[in-house]
Amino acid sequence: MKEHKIEKNKTDFLISPNLTDYEKEYKFFEWDRVALEFEGLPSGGLNIAHEAIDRHANGLLAQKSALIWLGEDGQRRKFTFAQMKEQSAKFANVLKSLGIAKGDRVFTLSTRLPELYIASIGILKNQSVMCPLFSQFGPEPILQRLQRGDAKALLTTKTLFKKKVLPLLKELPDLKTVILIDADIDENEQVRSWNRLMDEADDMFEIAHTNPEDMSLLHFTSGTTGMPKGVVHVHKAIYNHYISGKYVLDLHKDDIYWCTADPGWVTGTSYGIITPWLHGVTNVVDEGEFDAKRWYSILQNEKVSVWYTAPTAIRRLMRLDMEPLKEYDISALRLIQSVGEPLNPEAVIWGKEKLKLPIHDNWWQTETGAIMIANYISEPIYAGSMGRPLPGIKAAIVHVDDKGEASEVTEPNKEGELALKPGWPSMFRSYLHNEERYAKSFVGGWYLSGDLAYRDEKGYFWFVGRSDDIIKTSGHMVGPFEVESALMEHPSVAEAGVIGKPDPMIGQIVKAFVSLKAGYEPSEELKRELIGFGRKKLGAAVAPKEIEFQQNLPKTRSGKIMRRLLKAREMGLPEGDTSTLED
Ligand code: ATP
Ligand code: MG
């Protein structure tokens, strides 16, 4: 792929970036110094809720907006840090009065309502464990996760409860309490009303001593490669949230920040709830789903300055033939970050052209708890690269041999497994009820991510594909991302998903599923053109030999193309776990 470099100049920045000298910061970084950024509990413990909300509410930021909530119906509500403190204290008291204790799992199943955000903080105050689900999950995925996560309590809405949870109750004997956000009266001993419980609860709550290693969060992975795994995190993870908020999101006190992710996906929790508040920053939450006009209006009307979103959303904006800057004033926006999937070079460049801001890619996983590799506001971008490891993070390319021994690949531009040196604070502490699988993730002193990548001579990491998705064709190893990105350079292509289709002669054939931009129609001629285009860009060995048009590629709810599903369907095999498949 031709390298496209985007330089940064001092004049590019509206305010001075937090990170001005990457190499120096990386070299001299110490986790011990990060500890000084937290106030700690009076008892000496560390609790996320205290650091995110209470300490601001007790100080100068009490009357500042912590949450700006935009309802699907056009409502707009504001909550100050002081109000968030009071409301979350009430909810912590509610949980306590219901006998929900430290370590108990409290699940949430709701659209992005203010109560979801209040409850999350309340759960942490009570030292219970927060377990967010996507509200669009059907009954089966809900049941599976509640069972596997040992749910003690569930917060949801009347409609979601009736439709999805009520029929499951008999299979959930340990689910003690269900709280309905929009109910005014209790239904029975088990099914209670948020309004009534909150009305009666005290608005003062003293957080008990919390050990930094106490469990805070149980998050299920996206299920892109198979059955979602239950990932366990602890309060100490905020060290990484804080640092990535500072260096990657470049948060400053006066920022208005918007993360488009739902808390059902880890990005919506780590960066949609915790990180902005650790920095005392105003957090915008939109209840609605993707809608280009609505999104541009939010950026304009709320004067969003830092925006964290995902490739799927950016590609959806790209496929519309719009000139956003002519129609909207989004001049407050100064930084766009993206995560979740490879960000095609085309998307980075589109941002620079159409929004006057390049899009910054960063990489992490549910397991890593926070951003591990990123492009920084003050550093050049090489479009298509995930960037460089955060200060405090040692990332490497590792090769695991047949005997299961791991060794670091130090030579640049050599593909291998992307690995991290264990010990960063937000590292997952287990896969719930699956210690064996957890232990397998660590080999020879490395955490193996399951992703393949390479590092160039500048130290930038480039994503190749998930190990499972790598295509072996005529003796070549082909990463789907490279092929997808090349196809996206063609003016007709909105999105592409590439798989290896088994072939008796050459192992696998590279096959691409392509969705088209507005104004283009599928045709045999366009197919031939795309195959020719691919050959010119990639060479005959790597280019797709087959193209199939498919307007809606299967995706997870967190917006990732499910290549394993494309493949299973292509081969007529069982689809496997589809609990996270978008409707
Ligand atoms: P599962 O583990 O259940 O298959 P998942 O891996 O998609 O699902 P997440 O933890 O949400 O679950 O996603 C992490 C993965 O997403 C990474 O391992 C990587 O494959 C992909 N990813 C995230 N960010 C990027 C990025 N910037 N570039 C490329 N891939 C990314
Ligand atoms: Mg994964």
With a Cβ cut-off of 6 Å, ligand 1 is lined by 221-226, 228-229, 266, 339-343, 361-363, 365-366, 386, 449-451, 463, 466, 558, 560
Task: Report which of 497, 551, 498 is spatially closest to residue 521, judged by C-alpha positions.
Answer: 551
Longest CA pairwise span in the chain (Å):
71
Two tokens, residue 459? 């130290």
Two tokens, residue 233? 């995190």
Q: Based on the domain organization, do 200 and 334 belong to the same domain?
A: yes
pLDDT grade, residue 356 (50/70/90)?
very high
- Mutate-to-test residue for ligand 1 from 220, 224, 309, 460, highest number of ligand atoms within 8 A of CB: 224
Q: For residue 6, is it within any domain?
A: no
Residue 569 Cα to ligand 1 midpoint, Å, equals 22
- Residue 530: give its domain's CATH number: 3.30.300.30
pLDDT tens for each residue of 553-565: 999 999 999 999 9
Question: Ligand 1: which atom is nearest the Cα of residue 227?
Answer: 3
Residue 339 Cα to ligand 1 midpoint, Å, equals 9
Q: For residue 580, is it within any domain?
A: no
- Mutate-to-test residue for ligand 1 from 363, 368, 426, 462, highest number of ligand atoms within 8 A of CB: 363
Question: What's the CA gap between 481 and 156, in Å, rounded?
Answer: 38
Q: Of residues 483 and 402, which shows the higher confidence score?
A: 483
Domain boundary among 427, 455, 483: 455
Per-residue pLDDT at 2 exceeds 70: no
Q: For residue 198, is it within any domain?
A: yes
Name the β-bridge partners of 507.
Answer: 473, 503
Domain boundary among 455, 480, 498: 455
Annotate 229-244 with DSSP letters as a single string: -EEEEEGGGHHHHHHH
DSSP 169: G
Domain boundary among 455, 477, 495: 455
164, 166, 169, 172: CA torsion to nearest 10: 30
Ligand number nearest to the C-alpha of 225: 1
Q: Based on the domain organization, do 298 and 430 belong to the same domain?
A: yes
State the total domains in the chain. 2
pTM here is: 0.96
Q: Based on the domain organization, do 163 and 224 belong to the same domain?
A: yes
Q: Based on the domain organization, do 367 and 274 belong to the same domain?
A: yes
Annotate 519-557 with DSSP letters as a single string: T----HHHHHHHHHHHHHHH-TTTS-SEEEE-SS--BBT
pLDDT tens for each residue of 272-326: 999 999 999 999 999 999 999 999 999 999 999 999 999 999 999 999 988 999 9
Residue nearest to atom 16 of ligand 1 (CA): 340
Residue nearest to atom 27 of ligand 1 (CA): 363
Residue 451 Cα to ligand 1 midpoint, Å, equals 8
Q: Based on the domain organization, do 447 and 492 belong to the same domain?
A: no
pLDDT tens for each residue of 125-171: 999 999 999 999 999 999 999 999 999 999 999 999 999 999 999 99
* Interval 445-458 mean pLDDT: 97
Residue 406 Cα to ligand 1 midpoint, Å, equals 22
- Residue 315: give its domain's CATH number: 3.40.50.12780
Average pLDDT, the chain: 96
Strands (E), 330-376: 335-338, 359-363, 373-374
Q: For residue 23, is it within any domain?
A: no
Residue 342 Cα to ligand 1 midpoint, Å, equals 9
Question: Ligand 1: which atom is nearest the Cα of residue 558?
Answer: 11
* Interval 483-489 mean pLDDT: 95
Q: For residue 25, is it within any domain?
A: no
Ligand number nearest to the C-alpha of 467: 1
- Mutate-to-test residue for ligand 1 from 366, 372, 498, 561, highest number of ligand atoms within 8 A of CB: 366
Q: What is the pLDDT of residue 3?
A: 82
Ligand number nearest to the C-alpha of 449: 1
Three-state DSSP state, 346:
helix
- Mutate-to-test residue for ligand 1 from 364, 468, 555, highest number of ligand atoms within 8 A of CB: 364
**Residue 514, phi then psi, degrees to nearest 5:** -125, 135
Q: Based on the domain organization, do 265 and 394 belong to the same domain?
A: yes
Q: Based on the domain organization, do 116 and 238 belong to the same domain?
A: yes
Task: Report which of 393, 402, 349, 399 is spatially closest to residue 373, judged by C-alpha positions.
Answer: 393
Residue 259: how many CA atoms within 13 Å on its side-chain side? 27
The range of the structural domain enclosing residue 168 comes to 11-16+37-455
Residue 482 Cα to ligand 2 midpoint, Å, equals 20
Question: Ligand 1: which atom is nearest the Cα of residue 481?
Answer: 29
Q: Based on the domain organization, do 200 and 77 belong to the same domain?
A: yes
Residue with tokens 């050459």: 506
Q: For residue 93, is it within any domain?
A: yes
Residue with tokens 């001299």: 28
Annotate 256-310 with DSSP letters as a single string: EEEE---TTSHHHHIIIIIHHHHTT-EEEEE-S---HHHHHHHHHHTT--EEEE-
Q: For residue 576, is it within any domain?
A: no
Question: Ligand 1: which atom is nearest the Cα of residue 229?
Answer: 3
Task: Give one word for 87, left, alpha or beta, with left for phi > 0 and alpha for psi -120 to 50.
Answer: alpha
Question: Ligand 1: which atom is nearest the Cα of residue 266?
Answer: 11
pLDDT tens for each residue of 381-408: 999 999 999 999 999 999 999 888 999 9
Q: Based on the domain organization, do 380 and 231 belong to the same domain?
A: yes
Residue nearest to atom 23 of ligand 1 (CA): 340
Ligand number nearest to the C-alpha of 560: 1
Per-residue pLDDT at 486 exceeds 60: yes
CB atoms within 10 A of CB 476: 14
Q: Based on the domain organization, do 483 and 376 belong to the same domain?
A: no
Q: For residue 305, is it within any domain?
A: yes
Per-residue pLDDT at 499 exceeds 90: yes
Per-residue pLDDT at 1 exceeds 60: no
Residue 304 Cα to ligand 2 midpoint, Å, equals 30
Strands 306-309, 335-338: pairing is parallel
- Mutate-to-test residue for ligand 1 from 148, 219, 222, 467, highest number of ligand atoms within 8 A of CB: 222
Q: Based on the domain organization, do 426 and 536 belong to the same domain?
A: no
pLDDT tens for each residue of 193-227: 999 999 999 999 999 999 999 999 999 999 988 88
Q: Based on the domain organization, do 390 and 421 belong to the same domain?
A: yes
